[in-house]
Amino acid sequence: MLDRREPEELDGTLRYILRRFAGGGGELSPPPFFVFWMVFGYEWLLKTNRSVRKIDAAGTGITYWNTVYCKSGQQAPQCVIRVDVKRKTIVMISMCCMILTAVISSCTAAENPGEVSIPTGSGQETQSAGSDLANISSATGFDVSLDPPEYGGSITLTLDAAPVFDLLGFDASCIQLHANQRLFEGNWAKGPAGGYGEGLTDWGESTIIPALMTGYLVSSYSWMVSGDGTDVTANFIVRKNVRFAQTDTEAGKLVGGRIMTVDDIVWNINQRLHNDQFLNYQLYPAQRYALAVKTGENSFSITFLTDDFFDTMTRLNRSSYIFPPELWDAFEKRACTDWRYSVGTGPYVITTNVDNVYTLERNPDYWMTDPAGPGKGNRLPYIQTVKYYVMPDPEVREVCFRTGKIDRMADFTAVEKDANVQSAPKLFSAERGSASQSPLFMNTTVPPFDDIRVRKALLMATDFQSINEDLYNGDAQIISWPYYRVEGYEPLYVSPDDIDLPDDVKQLYTYNPNYARQLLEDAGYFSLKTSLLMSPTDADYYAMIAAQWTSVGIRLEMLPTDFSNLVSTMATVGYEGLVGVSPLPVSSFPGQHQYTARNWMNGSLINEEYVEIKAAKVKETAVTDFETSMEDCRALILYLLEQAYVIPAPRYPLYTMWWPWLKNYSGENAVGYYPGNSWIEWCWVDTDLKASMGY
């Protein structure tokens, strides 16, 4: 589904269009008569490999949408702008000034073409008002809040299981994420931001695109490729005047609310790299060469090998939840695994856990300010108290949500979303994220799946269209491997309707049992029996596919097992048939492990020289030009689809829902790379509205 953006002010619109043309990344450059056409109302077709904003000239013009195909083969919106004659002069002057500025900037932006810098701050300022609210809806409509934010109030959220506190691994509990922070994270203002962001992403899923990130505990960071291209040095400037929270606990008294230093961060990073108690050290011995080195009073650097730069730095940042080193000296692992010893720099502090109800209170010394909207410049966070209730029963969770006892929930299917709105019509909703059953991978190193004809036969014997209609009301993405659609990563996603997808590949995703049977016979199989190692939760879905395959003479034996055994079997290549396992997130790009790794992540055991060479080039390009690397990867993706290595599972949309008293919120799930519920610090509670609604 294309990103179709809601109206925004004319001045912000013109800035956006100019930025799309002048910003690089493979976009088209405007011809000299661009301004003339813009002012006099001719149609300018914005062809880009990413979605474009819908434009409303604030009462001075009209807009509409068409669809065109961009050069990458993806569909893109066609925006038509008509500007009222009354504002011609103003628009002409504005456009000329902006184009001149863009030209000057493009000539002076980078003194060193080998260096990539991430502009950061206490939250990036937005460049226009208005954002992507097109997918936000409710029975009563959605209004961007014009009121100044209020401090205080509380929100209640749920967990389906008791949280595991663990700063030693990669995924701290969402409760810990409110207390402990990482070096860099997603830039709230790049998303919807309650209607005041740039709308470059919806923050619906894990995302780590350099242009959408910003510094948290570092105020700025950049990286430089060495002269011979073999390594990359990342340089960081530590944010000044960030304090560890002052908590009334043994650990809090030990730290004393002191200011965080560069030594704290260097120590934390090196623990992840060289302390055998940390999961990053245990799982990735080949990357223990890296070392964080203090380079100044407030700076440090890390040098990585070029071919694993993004993987290592992303993984390192993901696991580096900063805490005071003296806590490790005093309490060892308890400093990372027991919430009572939690001290961090985050917007909240963990105060109590009573009967599986975790309470967090606002950190009055938090460093961040609001980057956008009526509260711009305000000290964050706004909400005083956050409560997490552990509720294993999904029915109990939904009843509590529908009756206003829970303020926000996510990951609803379309059917569940509609049921919630029917029960509680005042709920807001937004399409955010997606899910699927596990795709089917196969051992392509041994018969029968080493024969491409057999692999193609399995695809054509699968009725993706009926699965989509019967299970997902036709809203699912048919092709969900190697990448599904995530905002910001559009060049990686391939739809069956894309014009650059060859016709013979499109036919693989069209149900054709007769041709599938012929392919099997051509490969020497008049009947075929194979096995599927899979999770029991996917049994009903796979049973439907197995029934479809019987029409072409394929008999599928399902072998349910637990996840640990599934991964272990894949790691040892202990399967000759099929295996069903969840796909890697799109944010794993540019790692491309799903078709290059020599472990369980490459379930179909793809091992081709062409794939290796192409993937390596994509990773190299990503270091200096992430957008171009995605475009360059598209040819490889089309090749992989042609080889029929994986039978994808249609990926259906999910919805986030919330009550209208939760303000400055637009459905965000993960503001950055795997940060659960990291949206809270920017939102506020309209206590008067909540009371007026009877809650």
* Domain CATH number, residue 668: 3.40.190.10
Asked if pLDDT for residue 61 goes beyond 70, the answer is no
Q: Beta partners for 302?
A: 234, 292
Give the residue from 142, 662, 683 showing the smallest Cα distance to 404. 662
Asked if pLDDT for residue 298 goes beyond 50, the answer is yes
Asked if pLDDT for residue 199 goes beyond 80, the answer is yes
Provide the pLDDT for residue 674.
83
Domain assignment present for 118: no
Q: pLDDT tens across 472-494, in order? A: 999 999 999 999 999 999 999 99
Q: Which two tokens stand for residue 604?
A: 């179909």
Question: Are the C-beta atoms of residues 136 and 142 closer than 8 Å to each other?
Answer: yes
Q: How many CB atoms lie within 10 A of CB 526?
A: 9
Amino acid occupying residue 276: D
Q: SS in 3 state form for 183-247?
A: CEEECHHHCCHHHCCCCCCCCCCCCCCHHHEEECCEEEEEEEECCCCCEEEEEEEECCCCECCCC
Distances, alpha carbon 166 to alpha carbons 30, 185, 316, 333, 489, in Å: 51, 19, 15, 9, 30
Burial (CB count <10 Å: 0-12, 13-18, 19+), residue 539 = middle
Residue 468 sits in a domain whose CATH number is 3.10.105.10
Residues 445 and 420 in one domain: no
Question: Are the C-beta atoms of residues 384 and 686 closer than 8 Å to each other?
Answer: no
* Sign of the C-alpha dihedral computed for residues 358, 362, 368 and 372 taken in this order: positive
Return phi, psi of residue 195, to 5°: 105, 0
Distance CA 19, CA 26 (A): 13
Provide the pLDDT for residue 170.
86
127-137: b (≥16 Cβ within 10 Å) or e: ebbbbbbbbbb
Residues 469 and 579 in one domain: yes
Average pLDDT for 398-415:
97
Amino acid occupying residue 79: C
Provide the pLDDT for residue 42.
31
Average pLDDT for 164-189:
92
Question: Are the C-beta atoms of residues 475 and 465 closer than 8 Å to each other?
Answer: no
Helix/strand number for the chain, H first, E second: 22, 23
| Sheet of 218-225, strands arranged across | 115-118, 218-225, 231-238, 299-305, 292-296
Provide the pLDDT for residue 142.
53
Q: pLDDT tens across 592-646, in order? A: 999 999 988 999 999 999 999 999 999 999 999 999 999 999 999 999 999 999 9
What's the helix, strand, coil split of the chain in %, to 5?
35, 20, 45
Asked if pLDDT for residue 139 goes beyond 70, the answer is no
56 compared with 150, residue with greater pLDDT: 150
Q: How many CB atoms lie within 10 A of CB 474?
A: 11
Distance CA 661, CA 156 (A): 12
Provide the pLDDT for residue 118.
62
Domain assignment present for 166: yes
Average pLDDT for 410-422:
96
Provide the pLDDT for residue 174.
87
Mean pLDDT of all residues in the chain?
A: 84
Residues 675 and 580 in one domain: no
Provide the pLDDT for residue 568.
87
Residues 422 and 464 in one domain: no
Domain assignment present for 295: yes
Residues 418 and 458 in one domain: no
Residues 413 and 518 in one domain: no
- E strands of 148-193, at which residues? 154-159, 184-186
Length of the chain: 695
Q: Beta partners for 215?
A: 184
Give the residue from 586, 134, 666, 690 showing the smallest Cα distance to 410. 666
The owner of tokens 């926000």 is: 408
Asked if pLDDT for residue 52 goes beyond 50, the answer is no
Provide the pLDDT for residue 223.
97
Average pLDDT for 286-311:
95
Distance CA 275, CA 282 (A): 9
Average pLDDT for 30-34:
39
Q: pLDDT tens across 303-352, in order? A: 999 999 999 999 999 999 999 999 999 999 999 999 999 999 999 999 99
Residues 525 and 543 in one domain: yes
Question: Are the C-beta atoms of residues 673 and 207 closer than 8 Å to each other?
Answer: yes
Question: What range does the domain containing 38 cover?
Answer: 10-109
Grade residue 678 by pLDDT with cuts at 50, 70 and 90: confident
Identify the weakest region by mean pLDDT among 19-28, 502-511, 514-523: 19-28
DSSP state of 148: P
Average pLDDT for 181-186:
96
Question: Are the C-beta atoms of residues 275 and 282 closer than 8 Å to each other?
Answer: no
**Cα 196 to chain center, whole Å?**
20
Provide the pLDDT for residue 335.
95
- Tell me the chain's radius of gyration from C-alpha atoms: 26
Domain assignment present for 650: no
Distance CA 336, CA 84 (A): 61
Question: Are the C-beta atoms of residues 373 and 196 closer than 8 Å to each other?
Answer: yes
Asked if pLDDT for residue 129 goes beyond 50, the answer is no
Give the pairing type, strands 75-81 and 357-362.
unpaired
The owner of tokens 């969770």 is: 397
Asked if pLDDT for residue 543 goes beyond 50, the answer is yes
Average pLDDT for 257-271:
98
Amino acid occupying residue 567: V
Residues 298 and 376 in one domain: yes
Q: Which two tokens stand for residue 133?
A: 């609210």
Q: Beta partners for 354?
A: 357
Domain assignment present for 659: yes
3-class SS of residue 580: strand
Grade residue 114 by pLDDT with cuts at 50, 70 and 90: low
Give the pairing type, strands 385-390 and 357-362.
antiparallel
**Cα 333 to chain center, whole Å?**
30
Distance CA 578, CA 571 (A): 14
DSSP state of 361: E
607-612 contact pairs (CB < 8 A, 24+): 607/445, 610/639, 611/636, 611/639, 611/640
Question: Are the C-beta atoms of residues 454 and 528 closer than 8 Å to each other?
Answer: yes
Residues 403 and 522 in one domain: no
Grade residue 143 by pLDDT with cuts at 50, 70 and 90: low
* Sign of the C-alpha dihedral computed for residues 136, 140, 143 and 149 taken in this order: negative
Percent of the chain past pLDDT 90, that is, above it, reads 74
3-class SS of residue 390: strand
Provide the pLDDT for residue 117.
67
88 compared with 562, residue with greater pLDDT: 562
Helix (H) or strand (E) holding 475: none
556 compared with 100, residue with greater pLDDT: 556
Provide the pLDDT for residue 41.
39
Asked if pLDDT for residue 94 goes beyond 80, the answer is no
Residues 662 and 572 in one domain: no
Residues 40 and 167 in one domain: no
Q: Is 518 left (phi over 0), alpha (psi -120 to 50) or beta?
A: alpha
Amino acid occupying residue 53: R
Dihedral of CA atoms 338, 344, 349, 354 in degrees, nearest 10, equals 0
Provide the pLDDT for residue 91.
40
Q: How many CB atoms lie within 10 A of CB 228?
A: 7
Provide the pLDDT for residue 71.
32
Provide the pLDDT for residue 336.
95
Distances, alpha carbon 61 to alpha carbons 44, 52, 86, 356, 382, in Å: 14, 18, 11, 55, 38
Domain assignment present for 407: yes
Asked if pLDDT for residue 108 goes beyond 80, the answer is no
Domain assignment present for 3: no
Domain assignment present for 396: yes
Angle (nearest 5°) at CA 366 between 365 and 368: 140
Residues 90 and 236 in one domain: no
pTM equals 0.81
366-402: b (≥16 Cβ within 10 Å) or e: bbbebbbbbbeebebbbbbbbbbbebeeeeebbebbb
Number of domains in the chain: 3
Provide the pLDDT for residue 173.
87
